[in-house]
Structure 1
Amino acid sequence: MDFSIIQCSKFMTLLDMLLHNLKTLNMSLEDNIKWLGEVMAEIGPTHSQRIDEWNTFDVKQANAIIDYLKMSFFQHYKLYKFIFYSTREEIVIGTEQVIEIVNPAGGPFPSPLEEGISFDIYSKFIEPPPTLDKEMKGVDQEQGHKEFQPETDTSDMDPLVGFTIEDVKSVLAQVTDDILTDIQIEINEKLQIQEEGFNARIEKLKKA
């Protein structure tokens, strides 16, 4: 319609007032149409200039505005009324989660599994403090070590000093022989049991 800036402002104000009549005043369709007729009658060129606020459109423009409102706002009046006055189901788009923090040892909650956390965190925050007896024993042991500790520092000494490669080999060979001997005995016992079972089955088959 090539409305001017003032005409566009008046037209948007008219739309806002129509929605206000429905949303706030809860006007019926008939009352709102009647209100629109009274407002649009004020813009006629032969009407007295008592209200200059709406004296902005000519008759052709006023008819075009009424036609537009009739096929848009008034035709879907029940839909607008439903939007403003009907309760609709609230759609939950999120959920609230509550996370409980494990209290220190001694509280109503059990401590978490050691396998689920690192040893550093467990030893620092969860592991119970040592008892008084253990602390006293530890102090006594430290004092005993300090009393009998030689003046020379042995922390830098190699523990294998005084042993040759042959000595290490002989010790490893002895340990390996002991382990292999036990494993061999266990394997022989299992093989003997399986052999006896197979012999018993063969005897049953021969008799059958």
Structure 2
Amino acid sequence: MYGCEIWTEEDKMIKDDETMAWKFLSATQINTLLEQDIPGVQKQLEEFLDLKQHKTSLKEAVVLDYYVSGFCWAKEMDFAAAQIAGFMTLLNLLLENLDTQRMTLVENIQELRRTMAGVGLCRSEKSGGFEFFTVDQAKAVVGYLEISLFQHYALYEYLFHSPREEIVIGDENVVELVKPADAPFPAPLEEGLACDIYSAFIALIPAAEDVVEETEGGVQLEEQPEAETPVDPLTGYCIDDIKSVLGEVTTEMISHLQTEINEKLQMQEEAYSVRIEKLKKT
């Protein structure tokens, strides 16, 4: 059996620097994220990744959620700072393979297998750079990637490589300005003032003001013609005349209705007689 070489903490840090641990986020950035709660982590990653349009861009929103969820999961797993940094680098590597390299699901899984080679071995020649994970941690990482990225791989492919139409949501409003009034009062609103009231009390007011003429001795007002008073069409008739006219109209209407009713009754009587004759024959 070959024994494993014992490393000091300094050797581990040097080895971590040589591997994939700090390729994506620096040690300072990881320590800053570890001090934040979930909203703070999201805000810091917005700055680190320069995602300025995540509120309006679906792609940036998904990418931000991808990294925030991954960091929170690694933190809950009690990973060390270097291990969290390595996990974030692995997330970035797989997402870049999908985005820029356009790797298929099978190709990206093979890439994950290559990078995770050497986990659990001491200074293995086949190491992919993530040997700072233990075997159990590597299994947990693979399980997380399976239910997060790989399970929804087709959706990520559609997000990065399928063009989408931009939908502009707007609303056009037509504003109608009030026309200048020729009279001292504006035209009435249909729901606010009856036409008869407007005609009786407002429309009869002169439309124009008196014209003021300046003379040498002072100010002289131009005389305006008086408005004509509306004539009542019932003027000259008494109540008896009105009752007489209404009586004639009522009698004429009733006689017309009576004739129409008699005609309908006669038609129904004839129809019933025909039906009775048919019943007698049967």
Structure 1-normalised TM-score? 0.50
Is the helix fraction higher in 1 or 2?
Answer: 1
